[in-house]
Structure 1
Amino acid sequence: MIFGYARVSTIDQNLDRQLDKLKEYGVEKIFNEKVTGTRKDRPELSKMMEQLRRGDTVVIESLSRLGRSTKHLIELMENFNELGVNLISLKENIDTTTPTGKLVFNIFASISQFERDLISERTKEGLSSAKARGRKGGRPKKENASIKKAIKLYNSKEYSIKEITEMTGVSKPTLYRYLKEQVNN
């Protein structure tokens, strides 16, 4: 059977272009989802993997739709090999039924990881540059009455964290963050 997998990173993005290419190729069953490629736990990808059998083929529009991590792409490829499943990437013209296709797959998987590493590096440099100029990232911290009350209740040692979060509406991670800041100051 010929399976297709299509993915976009956000709900606002459109799958039509990928779906058209997969249908044009002759894919019999398409799995698609709107979730970031960096996540390993993609429900539709998992469903497809469960249905794969020896001799099946998985067709994707491009490697970046399957994943951006070299490690994850290689893990998927190893799973495909163990199952006796072929992979065809239309954009990169990869067909793993051939030795050349297997080589090209590994090269493109490395390039995909390199691209992701560059994006991460540029993001870190940008945040560092902004920090050097006195700008902080993330949400502004609010020292409000609910947080003060939550800290007071915590320090009283009379209530569980669950009780404190229910009484104040302050989430557990927020409470712990403020408690940690108190210890560090």
Structure 2
Amino acid sequence: MWSDKASGVRSDRPGLAGALKACRRGDVLVVWRLDRLARSTAELLKIADQLQARGVVLRSLTESIDTGGAVGRLVFTVISAMAEFERNLISERTKAGMAAARAKGHRGGRPAKLTDRQLGMAERLLADPVTTGQQVADQFGVHRGTLYRALADYRRRRELKS
């Protein structure tokens, strides 16, 4: 039994490579779902052709497909094309949703540790030669490096606005 922890979208999949290498004439390669085997119809058909040329049958448990016969091969091709189409639709919707969120001012990722108001205060505190960066960072409950990175970003954003 072989398994890959990585997504089917990645090409460096040692589990798949091992399974394909181990297949001999008369074997049946069983996969959970076709879309877990490959991410494009072309790649899936290439794998299926290689297996067929070596006398290996490909069987999917979820889709109940057996590529040993002509009908199974036809159904396999149609389902693999539909799986690729579905993945592409999901990708397009995700990208459109992220673009719409950005247009509304939402940004992805983790929330900022310091607000612009806090960064303005930090600049004023650091203007005093007696105050250290570590003291200001401690006051805001962040690491000193976080404070300085946030200040650099804050200053860069301010420059862009002016």
- The interval holding the TM-score normalised by the smaller chain is 0.5 to 0.7
Which letter maps to 2:35? S
Which letter maps to 1:45? L
Partner of 2:25: 54
Separation (CA, whole Å) in 1 of partners of 2:111 and 2:62 = 42
RMSD: 2.4
Runs of 4+ more than 4 Å apart: 138-141
Separation (CA, whole Å) in 2 of partners of 1:139 and 1:73 = 37
Please show how residues 29-68 of structure 1 align to structure 2 within 5 Å: 30-68=1-39
The answer to whether 1:75 aligns with 2:46 is yes
Partner of 2:103: 132
- Which protein has the bigger strand share? 1
Partner of 2:92: 121
Partner of 1:105: 76
Give me the TM-score of the superposition, normalised by structure 1: 0.56
1:31 positional shift? 1.1
Aligned residue for 1:84, secondary structure, equals coil
Which letter maps to 1:98? G
Gaps of 5+ in 2: 113-159
1:80 positional shift? 1.0
Which letter maps to 1:120? S
Separation (CA, whole Å) in 2 of partners of 1:108 and 1:94 = 9
Aligned residue for 1:32, secondary structure, equals coil
Separation (CA, whole Å) in 2 of partners of 1:40 and 1:78 = 18
1:51 positional shift? 1.4
Alpha-carbon displacement from aligned partner over 1:88-112 (angstroms, at most 9, x marks no partner): 1122111111100000000110111
Larger Rg: 2
Equivalent pairs counted in the alignment come to 116
| 1:131–1:75 Cα change, 3 Å | same
Separation (CA, whole Å) in 2 of partners of 1:133 and 1:40 = 36
1:140 positional shift? 8.1
Give me the TM-score of the superposition, normalised by structure 2: 0.63
Gaps of 5+ in 1: 1-29, 142-184
1:71 positional shift? 2.3
- Identity %, equivalent residues: 44
